[in-house]
Chains A and B, each alone.
Chain A
């Protein structure tokens, strides 16, 4: 995009403008997704609990409820507890939000549509996603109350422990694909649904579910949300936060839920490539058989459809997380740690060895092959 602007503007202004446009787009996506997910959460919770959820604000489905919630939170009184460390208390939500937001810098939305193309994209995403815990600890300590501190310590221990099986599960498709570049991994899965990495071998199939479980645990969603449990620790590290700061923490949580879901979609579920190669049929994407590429505007439309496809898959992942939250009971903290250390890590390691042996024994794939691009 910077080259596009550089046709009219001096180079430094073009770079700045391109960066601003990227940031604005990603910020809009993150905030809109957070708002939409608060509405979806309440609707899903209502339906699972055999009631309707919000129905009054904005028509029959209450879709403006998120806006109403946002307005309420912004207009609340700004309370800072007396024992709180003033600088750290105010800074904590923004640290968390920055870490959540920076994950989107390396996340591709379609072929070539990525804010910063990195060839270490998976590694960068895992690294930055792990920085969110610093905001949590900061908030928990700076609140000046022991319940906040306990909640923050538990949550930090949980997130940091689950980073290990999460990274191990994310490494398995990287190993099979041979690259950490998410654009390349996405392009590798183009074509029909059997090109998706999840169908590449049975070990990757199982890895997807282990990855999803570890992702749910690492963003502190139920059934792993003991650290925010309302009935046990008041609200954990969020106890003293209200109003706008609370909403920033929650935007960070929803943004990271969406991000890990999007990462799962790209790594396992084909990313912007649908179950059917519709863009190839419509002439919007380069045809691998004949090799002719479409016109630039049609390619843009094809990429746009790919982005919609990817966002749909990521949203489905988030809806599954919400479904799990309102269906399953909460795990105790020792059960959470047991699950990580005794189940998730050995499973992930076994899947790693299995996928490695499979890739070594059947380099061309047994039935399904990783095709479409190499």
Chain B
């Protein structure tokens, strides 16, 4: 009997993604958490590849793992000094969080397992083909407003939920402007300021002295 490599790799990537996500939750060292997160998101990119979304998977690797997480790790390096590298949560908080998380997981697992009941007809699952169908050109054209994947009238019938031919040009433009705004805003917020001394929160220190020098921006 043959081995379905798609299933083997799916299970491998799923175990890696979930395992490293759990490691992020249960680890206390912030730097190790960052690297477990990198591994988890890399495994998620593998899952995207297996689901046939090759462009989105490469996008995940480039932007999420190679960009966002590098940014996160920079932030960790800049703030993980001494006592802040290992901040522990109290067991009481863990209990409450565990209950909430557990119930949420139960609800989501029930919903996931009922997915097979959503099929109208009992069509059997087919093994995926060896070659991935190209998605970058249809994605690009959809972003420009032309849904070339919906030209097939058989797919576009009223019974299927694939109606609607409008592309994603407006969201594309909005997201582009949004990125520029966020870039400017984040650069402004994180600019270097000179402060005399960083002020700890008043719980442990005397009230604020009004004669203390304010920040020079």
Contact = CB atoms under 8 A, between A and B. Distances in A.
The reply, when asked whether chain A contacts chain B directly with Cβ atoms under 8 A, is yes
A119 B31 contact: no
Interface in B1-52: 2-3, 5, 31-32, 35, 38
B66 A127 contact: yes
B70 A134 contact: yes
Interface in A121-171: 123-124, 126-128, 130-131, 133-134, 137-138, 141, 149, 153, 156, 160, 163
The A contact surface, by secondary structure, is helix
A131 B31 contact: no
Contacts of A138: 35
Contacts of A374: none
A124 B70 CA distance: 18
B31 A88 contact: yes
Contact of B77 (A87, A120, A149, A180): A149
A11 interface: yes
Which 3 residue pairs of A and B lie closest in terms of their CB atoms, listed nearest first?
A: A127-B62, A130-B66, A127-B61
A118 interface: yes
B40 to A, nearest CB: 13
A12 B62 contact: no
A156 B70 contact: yes
B73 A124 contact: no
Best-buried of A128, A137, A149, A153 by chain B (most CB within 10 Å): A137
Contacts of A85: 31-32
Contacts of B65: 131, 134
Interface of B: 2-3, 5, 31-32, 35, 38, 54-55, 58-59, 61-62, 65-67, 69-70, 73-74, 77, 132, 134, 136-137
Contacts of A134: 35, 38, 65-66, 69-70, 73
A118 B58 CA distance: 11
Contact of B70 (A88, A118, A128, A133): A133
A12 B2 CA distance: 6
Given A10-B2, A120-B54, A141 B136 contact: no
Nearest to B38: A134
Contact of B73 (A12, A15, A120, A137): A137
B70 A160 contact: yes
Given A123-B58, A133-B66, A88 B35 contact: yes
A272 to B, nearest CB: 23
A137 B137 CA distance: 35
B66 A131 contact: yes
Interface string A79-116: 00000010110000000000000000000000000000
Best-buried of A127, A131, A138 by chain B (most CB within 10 Å): A127
Contact of B32 (A88, A119, A126, A128): A88
Given A123-B136, A134-B69, A134-B70, A141 B31 contact: yes
Interface string A299-324: 00000000000000000000000000
